[in-house]
């Protein structure tokens, strides 16, 4: 493990979700949005990092925001992911003033709002863009093709491709069949299946919203 990696892990502690070396002289730190300012401050003030620039990638359902620092000739990227339904991230500009312009550019081009930015106004886009979809923002889309979305939602939410109707349930009882043992009728088993799906990260890959029991895109 390199000295820098050790120092980063030690300085950041639990504020970082992960700290890793991606290739020679390149490091990646991922954080939850609420920790991005503290970690940027540590990189700048404790680790002696020089802010280089920021990038934003439209991942379809989420934006990935990455702030890049030069620490003694090595590049450290601080990244966080935010949902496109609510594209807000705390601004690092109050603690890293050099990030002011690039955060404003990202706002103009992608529509990401940086909370706490000292100068929240356009910098690059023409005024005629106001009120329109930002020029680099793509439609909110996930990996499941439209035709298969209903079936995938049912498998994740119910453990079955189709729900059991009250009519069929009644008819099953009338015909003397036992209650079906599929997860539809078994809350404990369905709860286990939900956890198994979450652990396999299939819900994240599909872009499933557990509160709405739907995919995050139509």
Partner 1 sequence: MKGYALFLGCNIPIRYPCTEIATRRVFKEFDISLADMKGYTCCPDPVVTRLADAEMSYVLSARNLSLAEEKGLNVMTVCNGCQETLLEANEALKSDRDLRNRVNQILSEYGREYKGTIDVKHAVEVLHEDVGISKIKERANTLRFKAANHYGCHIFRTKEENEDPWRIPNMMKDLVDATGVEFVEYGLERLCCGYPPLLADPKLALEERLLPKLKGIEKAQARCVVVSCPACMIQFESGQVKLKEMGAGKLPVIHVLELLGLAMGMKPEELHLEFHRSPVMELAKEVSG
Which residues fall within 8 angstroms of residue 37, CB to CB, at 6 or more apart?
A: 90, 91, 92, 94, 95, 116
Please identify which residue in 61, 82, 144, 157 interacts with partner 1, judged by CB under 8 A.
144
Q: Burial, 155: exposed, middle or buried (Cβ in 10 Å; 0-12, 13-18, 19+)?
A: middle
- Do you know the residue count of the chain? 218
> Under a CB-based contact definition with an 8 Å cutoff, are residues 84 and 138 in contact?
no
Which residue, among 130, 68, 61, has the nearest Cα to 99 in the 3D structure? 68
Q: Burial, 171: exposed, middle or buried (Cβ in 10 Å; 0-12, 13-18, 19+)?
A: exposed
Sign of CA dihedral 44, 3, 32, 217: positive
Report the distance separating Cα 58 and Cα 137, nearest Å. Answer: 7
Span interacting with partner 1, options 24-32, 34-42, 117-125, 177-185, rule CB under 8 A: 177-185
Please identify which residue in 50, 205, 212, 213 interacts with partner 1, judged by CB under 8 A.
205
Instruction: State the minimum distance, in angstroms, from the CB of residue 18 to partner 1.
Output: 19
In the complex with partner 1, the residue whose CB is nearer, 103 or 153, is 153
160 binds partner 1 per the rule CB under 8 A? yes
In the complex with partner 1, the residue whose CB is nearer, 81 or 180, is 180
192 binds partner 1 per the rule CB under 8 A? yes
Span interacting with partner 1, options 24-32, 55-63, 80-88, 163-171, rule CB under 8 A: 163-171
Span interacting with partner 1, options 2-10, 13-21, 126-134, 191-199, rule CB under 8 A: 191-199
Instruction: State the minimum distance, in angstroms, from the CB of residue 218 to partner 1.
Output: 15
List residues binding partner 1 (CB under 8 A). 143-145, 147-148, 151-152, 154-155, 159-165, 168, 171-172, 175-178, 180-184, 186, 188-190, 192-193, 195-197, 199-202, 205-206
């Amino acid at each position: 493990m390199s000295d820098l990696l050790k120092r980063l892990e030690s300085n950041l502690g639990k504020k970082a979700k992960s700290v890793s070396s991606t290739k020679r002289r390149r490091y990646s730190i991922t954080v939850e949005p609420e920790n991005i300012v503290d970690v940027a401050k540590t990189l700048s003030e404790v680790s002696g990092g020089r802010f280089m620039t920021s990038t934003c990638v439209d991942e379809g359902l989420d934006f990935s925001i990455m702030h890049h620092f030069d620490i003694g000739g090595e590049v450290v990227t601080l990244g966080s992911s935010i949902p496109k339904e609510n594209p807000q991230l705390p601004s690092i500009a109050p603690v890293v003033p050099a990030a002011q312009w690039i955060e404003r550019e990202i706002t103009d081009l992608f529509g990401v709002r940086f909370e706490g930015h000292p100068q929240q106004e356009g910098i690059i886009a023409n005024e005629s863009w106001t009120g329109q979809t930002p020029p680099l923002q793509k439609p909110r889309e996930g990996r499941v093709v439209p035709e298969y979305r209903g079936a995938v939602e049912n498998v994740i939410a119910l453990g079955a491709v189709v729900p059991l109707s009250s009519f069929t349930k009644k008819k099953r009882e009338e015909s003397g069949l036992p209650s079906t043992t599929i997860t539809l009728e078994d809350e404990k088993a369905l709860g286990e299946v939900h956890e198994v799906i979450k652990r396999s990260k299939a819900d994240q890959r599909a872009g499933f919203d557990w509160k709405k029991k739907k995919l995050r895109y139509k």
